[in-house]
Structure 1
Amino acid sequence: MPRLFTGLEIPSDIGFALSLKRGGLNGARWIEPENYHITLRFIGDVDNKTANEVVDNLDYLSESLRFPIKLTHLGTFGGDKPRALYAGVEPSEALNRLQAAHERMLQRAGLPPDGRKFVPHVSLARLRGTAAEDVARFIAEAGRFEPLSFSVARFALFSSRDSVGGGPYVVEETYPLAA
């Protein structure tokens, strides 16, 4: 059974710029730049029939228009027990519409709703046993985050193997957005 999710690929130049943030944080397992992405909707482990339906139904979402994305800051998930370091995405109505369309389409395909709030981001590291104070110091010492922008011309269906996170991810299909 494939483990699937939809998302946005990160251009290699943006990935390189993000990779320069790597290092110097105890307990961090850094994600390789080729595995950077923005998740739109986690699908999970599905049978081949459901996977084929998802592939077919995603074609209908390519009518969405292209739009810009801007990465603006470093942040963490997990509060007092940080579990991930990420680059945050500036709020975007176009991105929210695309993500909501994925959610609706996948529910129509019979998948349960995603119970998590959509917080667009690029995961940079998984954290284990890292103190919140150490993460705060790392972010402060990283200096000013220069915004990174790119245009979204397509979204992708990714697969991953069952692991503790961070890849490797495989692009199974891509879906161009309208110009």
Structure 2
Amino acid sequence: MRLFTAVLPPPDQLAELAAEVDALLRLPGADALRWTGRPGWHFTLAFMGEVDEALLPDLRTRLARAAHRTAPFPLRLHGSGHFGQRTLWTGAAGALDDMRLLGERSDAAARRAGIPMDEHRAYHAHLTLARARTGVHADLRPFVDGLAHFEGARWQVSELALVRSNLPAGGTPGEGPRYETLDTWPLGQGG
């Protein structure tokens, strides 16, 4: 099963973002993008890829420990950006160092549980909103500009989530992965 750890924004903050994205969907060129499903909006912390189910008990124990060692922290959805001409995202503002630390602890927990992790990359907090369709050149500037001044309401990140990514099985064009939260652990409980 394909797994990753994540910070999941609360429903009120997701609703704020959804209102902004609804405005972007009315811009010319929006149909050249494959928009991510709103139930899947999240900040990935550590991507593990395919994980043997036999490793899950130890992984869960280690992720619980990582969460408990990390104090809750403030965050808000903020601004926009893009990776090349392929990916549109909104970012985060607040205690980004704390979120980065939670990601590093998640990565270390996975390694210690026996999961081979990719080489460590610099963490860039982002929530993917859309990707250019394959073979289509998309101008992301109007969408980045449309979200540039977005400032979501602050919330307190209080848990770490383990999420399963279910890749599309059918041949439906534009179908994206479905995400299933397998477990969550409260932050800052000691231990």
Q: Is TM more than 0.5 here?
A: yes
What 5-or-longer segments of structure 1 have no aligned partner? none
Query: Which position in structure 2 is the counterpart of 1:18?
Result: 17
Equivalent residue for 2:37?
32
TM-score, normalisation: structure 1: 0.86
Query: Tell me, what secondary structure is at the counterpart of 2:81?
Result: strand
**Counterpart of 1:96?**
100
How many residue pairs were aligned? 173
For 1:74-111, what per-residue CA distance to the aligned partner results, in whole angstroms no more than 9, with x for missing partners? 1111x2xx221111122622111111111222122222
Q: Specify the alignment match of 1:172 in structure 2.
A: 182
**2:45–2:100 contact (8 Å) kept in structure 1:** no
Indicate yes or no: 2:93 matched with 1:83: no
- With structure 2 as the length reference, what TM-score do the two structures score? 0.81
Percent identity between matched residues is 30
Separation in 1, partners of 2:177, 2:16: 19
Deviation of 1:113 after TM superposition, in Å, equals 3.5
Of 147-156 and 161-170, more deviation after overlay is shown by: 161-170
Aligned with residue 46 of structure 2, among 36, 41, 44: 41
Post-superposition Cα deviations, 1:108-167, rounded to whole Å, max 9, x if no partner, equal 222233333211111111222243xx2112222456222442210101100011248843
Letter in 1 for 2:182: E
Indicate the residue corresponding to 2:149 in structure 1.
144
CA RMSD of aligned residues (A): 2.1
Structure 1: distance between partners of 2:63 and 2:148: 39
Contact 1:158-1:173 within 8 A present in 2 as well: yes
Are 2:167 and 2:176, in contact at CA under 8 Å, matched by a contact in 1?
no
